[in-house]
A = this chain, B = another copy of it.
Amino acid sequence: MSDDLVIAGKHFTSRLIVGTGRYRSMEDQVEALEASGTQMVTVAIRRLDLDNPNEKTILDYIDPDKYNILPNTAGCQTVEEALFVARLGREVTGTDFVKLEVIPDPKYLFPDPAATLEAAEKLVNDGFVVMPYIHADPVLAKRLEDVGCATVMPLGSAIGSGQGIHTVEEVRIIIEQANVPVVVDAGLAVPSDASKALELGAEAVLVNTAIAQAENPGLMGEAFKNGVEAGRKAYLAGRIPVRAYAQASSPTADVPQPASARS
């Protein structure tokens, strides 16, 4: 069964996008990415340290044949900053893909809906494949799709909070209305969060802190790989409905009787 994730015509067999922030070591990261089976990893764009201009960059540790690079605009608080960093990221990585983040709020790192919509439209017109990070707002998701975004990326809960998916109802509606892949991003802490997102019909999830900061990032990367596979298969396999009452899984008739009271 071919069941690829397709974003802007690009096919992926893995539905797990992994972030490259907050690993305790490059070794941890390399092991975790490998174990996760991911085919797309995010990177941020930052100023070069001019006193150390030749230090290795994150991309020196990432095999371009194995992983697609998804540069983000993390750290940008305005439309102007996001456009600039997106373009720098395209120049650095050579890809048109961009994870768009416009985040004025430092405490919860929640994105600005109006600024994200404005930046998304401009980047689409500039030829980018835009994957916007948004609050789980179904109308905003629809409008981003309408301006040409390649996916929508509603948040589960605050970035790095490990709170899981608070927004199940909203994500369910976004999925119901979307004609582009829905990628649940932020807050996922354990594979059951990822599995749940895919069971609902999300096409993929993005995970960073949950893997990078786990006690054992490699094993957690593998755990998320399994969880994402589980969720996708369950979505395709067709889950049972929810019922108000029990349904016996063993036959109710012909139960042997110690004395033949019941017949």
Contacts and interface: CB of A to CB of B under 8 A. Distances in A.
A162 B242 contact: yes
Contacts of A238: 214-216, 220
Which of A143, A162, A231, A248 has the largest count of B CB atoms less than 10 A from its CB?
Answer: A248
A144 to B, nearest CB: 10
Nearest to A191: B230
B190 A248 contact: no
A106 B212 CA distance: 38
Interface string A175-187: 0000000000000
Contact of A240 (B21, B88, B214): B214
Interface stretch (A5-13, A60-68, A249-257): A249-257
10 contacts: A21-B249, A74-B249, A112-B139, A113-B140, A114-B118, A114-B140, A160-B248, A162-B241, A191-B231, A227-B230
A239 B21 contact: no
A159 B210 contact: no
A230 to B, nearest CB: 4
Interface of A: 19, 21-22, 44-47, 72, 74-76, 80-81, 83-85, 88, 104-114, 117-118, 135, 137-140, 142-143, 157-163, 166, 169-170, 173, 189-193, 195-196, 199, 208-210, 212-217, 219-220, 222-227, 229-231, 233-234, 236-258
Closest 8 A/B residue pairs (Cβ): A215-B238, A160-B247, A74-B250, A226-B230, A223-B233, A227-B230, A75-B255, A191-B230
Contact of A239 (B45, B214, B251, B254): B214
Nearest to A168: B166
A253 B106 CA distance: 12
Number of copies: 4
Contacts of A84: 256-258
Nearest to A206: B249
Contact of A237 (B21, B22, B137, B216): B216
A249 B159 contact: yes
Nearest to A220: B237
Contacts of A210: 239-240
Contact of A169 (B21, B157, B220, B230): B157
B85 A255 contact: yes
A251 B199 CA distance: 32
